[in-house]
Structure 1
């Protein structure tokens, strides 16, 4: 990213972090290095990340699918912190003169204390506290099971998060994968942008119990199929 733009947005990260307060995490991703994309962060305790953390699974998917081309931002979607707290997240796409995204400015709001406070107030006028507690617990778990973005501190965490979700969706035990099933999983991971991260091939090979050359072979097969289509 252009240094002047980087400096301006870095100051904005600090400014917003102080103005909005400790429940709002402000993050600047420089997309020239997706493995260490976070270049500025305020209130990193919200997700547990720091400068040098990788791009998220949602960020990788946005870049792969080109979602940013028809929009300048995504707002009010769910994210999950490392401690499984549901966050309300929004992302602005920072684009260059060619309308290509070069950075992302993200705001992640941890509203857990406000949700807890509202539940306590409701309990004062609601006769069945247990029902309220159970509804809240089920709701949070439901959101976490289907959350679109997970905030990871390393490439290993990003890869594991996406891979575990794919394996769960496909209902396939990793120790009994066939070659076709591995090819299908690599295809899904590729569509989600995982292989845009340096080191992802090694991590996926380890998770799928196969060699790195096998992963490269699968990617070559998939790329060849796409070119023929």
Structure 2
């Protein structure tokens, strides 16, 4: 006959296992008999009816919510787990079960390692390699401006575009044939707009 506590908590355990599976194990323990009542998505060969080895509950640090963790555990195969234990009480307020959720950290550790591998210090780019690549200069100049000002290209004002055209002109970009169409595309503006901005830049510079 299925234990009433298993019937009561099975929907919760199955929901957690379904959401976090296959990386989460959910275990329901009997605190009186100190044995496993049920396991959902087991990570080891442990089975219901085996000893829980929970220890003395009265030695736990008092907790108003009866929730302990997350704390770290390690499986024999080296996998690290993040675990949370919830002390479940009966209608009289006495502990009668413990629900444990063990989350395999392997995917998170692997993702963290992958991200860390891309975190090498970024060195200044070798400018001599890009001196002749005016398209790279256009992309770099506009990209840096967008990043520094925190506005996407679509939200750049006329003054923003004027400042960018002035910077690109000072770098000699517009001395290159077909630069205006390329800049217009990068700024998501019309060619006539870029020509007008360039004319204004030159007028201001000649004053």
Q: What is the TM-score of this pair, normalised by structure 1?
A: 0.46
What is the CA–CA distance in structure 2 between the aligned matches of 1:71 and 1:12, rounded to whole Å? 17
In the alignment of these two chains, the number of paired residues is 120
Larger gyration radius, structure 1 or structure 2? 2
Q: Which of 44, 54, 60 is the matching residue for 2:55?
A: 60
Q: Which has the higher helix share?
A: 1
Q: CA deviation at 1:66?
A: 5.0
Check whether the contact 2:6–2:38 (CA below 8 A) recurs between aligned residues.
no
Per the alignment, residue 133 of structure 2 pairs with none
What is the CA–CA distance in structure 1 between the aligned matches of 2:88 and 2:39, rounded to whole Å? 16
Per the alignment, residue 39 of structure 1 pairs with 37
* Stretch deviating more after TM superposition (110-119 or 66-75): 66-75
Check whether the contact 1:17–1:43 (CA below 8 A) recurs between aligned residues.
yes
- In structure 2, the CA distance between the partners of 1:53 and 1:84, relative to structure 1 (3 Å rule), is farther
Matches for 1:1-229 after TM superposition, within 5 Å: 3-34=3-34, 37-45=35-43, 47-56=44-53, 59-61=54-56, 63-67=57-61, 70-126=64-120
Q: CA deviation at 1:51?
A: 1.8
What is the CA–CA distance in structure 2 between the aligned matches of 1:77 and 1:126, rounded to whole Å? 30
- In structure 2, the CA distance between the partners of 1:39 and 1:4, relative to structure 1 (3 Å rule), is closer
> Unpaired runs of 5+ in structure 2?
122-207
Q: CA deviation at 1:22?
A: 0.8
What is the CA–CA distance in structure 2 between the aligned matches of 1:84 and 1:48, rounded to whole Å? 15
* Stretch deviating more after TM superposition (23-32 or 8-17): 8-17
What is the CA–CA distance in structure 2 between the aligned matches of 1:68 and 1:10, rounded to whole Å? 26
- In structure 2, the CA distance between the partners of 1:86 and 1:55, relative to structure 1 (3 Å rule), is same
Give the ranges of 4+ consecutive aligned residues of structure 1 lying more than 6 Å apart after TM superposition: none
Check whether the contact 2:82–2:105 (CA below 8 A) recurs between aligned residues.
yes
Q: CA deviation at 1:53?
A: 2.9
